[in-house]
Amino acid sequence: MRWLSGSMPDVHDPATRSRNMAAIRGRDTKPELLIRSGLHRQGFRFRVNRKELPGKPDIVLSRFHAVIFVHGCFWHGHDCHLFRLPGTRTEFWTAKIGANQERDKVVGSALLSEGWRIATVWECALKGKSRIELQELLTRLTSWLRGDELLLEIRGQDVKSMRASSMHPPEATEPDPSGR
């Protein structure tokens, strides 16, 4: 996990920050709606946030005995360009995000022990500089749903390695072992 912290003060006063944080949705987020809409267009039918399952998965496809979690990179401490630990109240945020990650592990274990298959789609797969095309994401999800693998994780592309490989092929950057 990558913890970036700076000493930059908050740009909002406490009342504004509180209002902003209160407005953050826990369900029906844009990434969730994109995935649900795409799956529905492809003929999949599902339930949303089934309370009787551990962790109230974002999308439940009972026919495939599969659940899909759409995780926000900030809230779940994902190691990507969208996550940055806030510079203020660092101890609070470290504890909060760490607790979220621990809860994700417990929920995942509980679902697997009940025989559910689990897909995790990270926010960075749908937005930011490392996003992948929605159709490609949906293709991966539908292929997984129709297959028999237990776990699937879809994250954004590794932009650094893509750029490096497209600019400098491996042969050109490694010295010739014969010394020529």
For 80, counting Cβ atoms within 10 Å of its Cβ (0-12 exposed, 13-18 middle, 19+ buried), the class is: buried
Residue 90 tokens read as 């660092």
What is residue 71's DSSP assignment?
Answer: E
Domains of the chain with CATH codes: 25-172 (3.40.960.10)
| pLDDT, tens digit (0-9, with 9 covering 90-100), for 122-175 | 999 999 899 999 999 999 999 999 999 999 999 998 654 333 333 333 343 344
Average pLDDT over residues 102-113: 97
Picking from 164, 57, 72, the residue whose alpha carbon sits closest to that of residue 118 is: 57
Q: Tell me, what amino acid is at 74? A: F
C-alpha angle with apex 60: 59 to 61, nearest 5 degrees? 120
d(CA 132, CA 137): 7
Beta partners for residue 71, in sequence order: 122
| Across 6-10, 79-83, 97-101, 164-168, least confident range | 164-168
Residues 111/68, Cβ–Cβ less than 8 Å:
no
What is residue 170's DSSP assignment?
Answer: H
Asked whether residue 33 carries a pLDDT value surpassing 70, the answer given is: yes
Q: What average pLDDT does the chain have?
A: 82
C-alpha angle with apex 148: 134 to 105, nearest 5 degrees? 75
Asked whether residue 35 carries a pLDDT value surpassing 70, the answer given is: yes
Residues 60/44, Cβ–Cβ less than 8 Å:
no
